[in-house]
Amino acid sequence: MPVIEVTNLHKRYGDLVAVDDVSFTVSAGEIFGVLGPNGAGKTTTVECLAGLRVPDGGGVSVLGLDPRRDATRLRQRLGVQLQESQLPDRLRVAEALELYASFYPEPADPARLIDELGLGDKRNTPYKKLSGGQKQRLSVALALVGNPEVAILDELTTGLDPQARRDTWGLIERIRDRGVTIVLVTHFMEEAERLCDRVAVIDSGRVVALDTPAGLVSRVAPTQRVRFRPSAPLDDQLLTDLPEVSEVTRTGSQVVVTGTGELLHAVTAVLARNQIVAADLRLEQSTLDDAFVELTGHRPAD
Amino acid sequence: MHAFGQILKIEARLYLRDLPTLLSTVGVPTLILVVLGLIPALRKPDPLFDGQSFVVYFAPSLLVITLAMAGLNALPTVLATYRERGVLRRLATTPASPAALLAAQLVITLSAILASAVLLVLVARLAFGVPLPRHPFGFAAAFVLGTAALLALGLLVAAVARTTRAAQALAVPLFLLTMFFGGVYLPRFLLPDFLVRVGDYTPPGVQALLDTWTGTAPQPLHLLTMAVVAVAAGSLAARLFRWE
């Protein structure tokens, strides 16, 4: 039985349709990504899962419970990390965790959680004095302190520096290894690619694709790009004559060859035959970024 | 209930860490009393104040400072900040209810008001010989109803203001009017009679506090007005309050 079941979810604010028609299921132990451009309806969808909003249509079930009707029971088993949700300035790290731990029947050990999240030396630091990354980790800790079976994490790493982001990813993987099912809302492709077992791409309130990250990438035309700087003048014709090559462009001294199949091999063979050395040679393949652009027509945020 | 106890404990700690608010709510009225009380002329009975000294006459206005600070300044600001920063929303995702946080804030505000009032009455009595309220039941009724009316107004501000800034924009004029009509800025004998009458019916109802402190029974209409304000503003606040 799936842990989360969303069927034809519909939610509007007045005339504005935030979520038009969203359906997906999440299995136990999965990291499920909800991906989409800003305003696509990601946050509204997870807010319905958390019982913070009442859907106008369709059904939502989490751990077999209705987030509104069985709110009390569900809240003991669900951890939620909300976007832009802060704490009082003067509240200290350990106090926050101990307070939230006291709400749950079988909480995690706050002191251990603090250490696990690398906040051990910030135990007595007031919230106001924490860095962005530390605040975010504390927020994740609060979502986990109740030992939830399901955790919803919304825009977990937005505003973090690259190192803090990678640290947080490691943390999410460790949480999953404990058997927690995770719903991760994000607009970072790299994050989805690294963490998620499956991804639902939402655009304008609808699921436009639902697959593994690799599956999504393979849907877009498998184009490749070879970039290099030739050691000697190079006639484009040599390359465009190759059946694998669809386009050759130049930016400064760099040549960019776009094509399919054994593109890299074909290009290097031609260069070798003409005694040209390719400096700074790089092969680029389609990424989730490309898939995202093709599916939604938007550029992902960077 | 367990969660409420924990929240109350933490919120009380946070309140005690906010020294400026704590001092202005609990300390300032008594401090002003001490400064005024040290001036001998103000301790002499004067026919202008129905044979009371100025210190006695002014003491209820000092209570108004506490009530206005706690009810119209601190309470709506804290609640609006908690909502704006998502503290209430976050609590709504846990087994604890944001209502517990609201209740904890009310308990803390009431405790601060009570502590301030007790301190003021005791210092007035011990240091300057101001008698304890001579109509204790009437004083208690006037104090409780006046407090309820002001807190209800504070909650109404917290209910309709979406942001901290908006809460302050609404609360500051109310705060200034309360202080003005409560005779804090200008002692009431300097105000035109009309404004004094208005002040009788402006929460927290400084005249009823003065009457009962000096031994007269409170006027029913004064108390009734406070009760009506408390119920009306309180139920409106309850209806309009949003957790996010």
User: Is residue B110 exposed (0-12), middle (13-18) or buried (19+ Cβ within 10 Å)?
Assistant: middle
Residue A300 has a pLDDT of: 59
DSSP chain A: --SEEEEEEEEEETTEEEEEEEEEEE-TT-EEEEE-STTSSHHHHHHHHTTSS--SEEEEEETTB-TTTTHHHHHTTEEEE-TT----TT-BHHHHHHHHHTTSSS---HHHHHHHTT-GGGTT-BGGGS-HHHHHHHHHHHHHTT--SEEEEESTTTT--HHHHHHHHHHHHHHHHTT-EEEEEE--HHHHHHH-SEEEEEETTEEEEEE-HHHHHHHS---EEEEEEESS---HHHHHTSTTEEEEEEETTEEEEEE-SSHHHHHHHHHHHTT--EEEEEEEE--HHHHHHHHHSSPPP-
Q: What is the pLDDT along chain B (244 residues), one digit of tens a residue?
A: 578 999 999 999 999 998 988 888 888 999 999 999 999 888 888 888 878 888 888 888 898 999 999 999 899 999 999 998 989 889 989 998 888 888 899 999 999 999 999 999 999 989 888 888 889 999 999 999 999 999 999 999 998 888 889 998 999 999 999 998 888 888 888 888 888 888 888 888 888 888 898 888 889 999 999 999 999 999 998 888 887 7
Residue B244 has a pLDDT of: 73
> Span A72-101, mean pLDDT?
91
**Contact state of B86 with A72 under an 8 Å Cβ cutoff:** no
To the nearest whole Å, the CA of B114 is away from the closest chain A CA by 24
Confidence band, pLDDT 50/70/90 cuts, at residue A301: low
**Contact state of A82 with B95 under an 8 Å Cβ cutoff:** no
| This model's pTM is above 0.90 | no
Residue A221 has a pLDDT of: 65
Q: What residues contact residue A176 under an 8 Å CB cut-off, 6+ apart?
A: A29, A31, A182
**Contact state of A88 with B87 under an 8 Å Cβ cutoff:** yes
| A162 or B175, higher pLDDT | B175
pLDDT at A302 over 80: no
Sort out which chain B residues have CB atoms less than 8 A from A95's CB and list them: 10, 13
> Span A150-169, mean pLDDT?
83
- Among residues B60, B57, B56, B70, which one has the least CA distance to residue B27? B70
Report the alpha-carbon distance of residue B90 to residue B98 in Å, rounded: 9
Residue A126 has a pLDDT of: 95
To the nearest whole Å, the CA of B66 is away from the closest chain A CA by 23
To the nearest whole Å, the CA of B115 is away from the closest chain A CA by 23
- Tell whether A288 is within 8 A of chain B (Cβ): no
> Span A187-214, mean pLDDT?
89
* Residue pLDDT, tens place only, A209-249: 899 988 887 777 667 888 999 888 888 888 888 888 888 88
**What ipTM goes with this model?**
0.84
Report the alpha-carbon distance of residue A62 to residue B185 in Å, rounded: 58
Taking a C-beta distance cutoff of 8 angstroms, is the pair A145, A100 a contact?
yes
**In chain A, whose CA is at the least distance from the CA of B82?**
A88
SS3 category, B126: helix
**Contact state of A82 with B17 under an 8 Å Cβ cutoff:** no
**In chain B, whose CA is at the least distance from the CA of A98?**
B6
* Among candidates A86, A100, A104 on the partner chain, residue whose Cβ is nearest the Cβ of B86: A86
> Span A79-99, mean pLDDT?
91
